[in-house]
Amino acid sequence: MPKIQKIIYKGKLIIYVDYRGQNEEQMLETASSLRDFLLSNPGEHLRLVNITDTPATRKFTAYIRELGKETKNVPVKGAVVGITGAKKVLLSGYNRLLGGAMRPFNDEETAKEYLVS
């Protein structure tokens, strides 16, 4: 399954980014692909990110911060699944510093409902 894909939910297009089970190198590759996608498709979009069972490494976190700065002009309504413990603190900081709009959810179904509402 591709790590970045377009899915349709209730007639709405959602960009689904799947980091589940990836190691740091794989996560960086996926984030780089997301960067390329966002820069080549700058229109407003819905984004669902799944980070279940992934490490919150410094290198990845730094890359995501830079990605956020680079793509902050791309409007997004976002949801994140798999956020626990320290990752919630990192997400909160990301949203505050970069004006991000990523909200944490416990499961994909609830996240999708939020995105299409």
Question: Residue 19 maps to which CATH number?
Answer: 3.30.750.24
Residue 1: is its pLDDT beyond 80? no
Identify which of 7-16, 42-51, 59-68, 70-79 has the greatest average pLDDT.
7-16
* Angle value at C-alpha 9, between 69 and 13, nearest 5 degrees: 45
Q: How confident is the model at residue 64 (pLDDT cuts 50, 70, 90)?
A: confident
What does the pLDDT read at residue 71? 84
What token pair was written down for 81?
């699944």
Give the count of domains, the chain.
1
Mean pLDDT of the chain: 87
Tokens of 104: 């944490």
* Domain boundaries, position 18: 4-116
> What's the pTM value of the predicted model, to 2 decimals?
0.86
* DSSP structure string for 53-98: T----HHHHHHHHHHHHHTTTS-EEEEEES--THHHHHHHHHHHHH
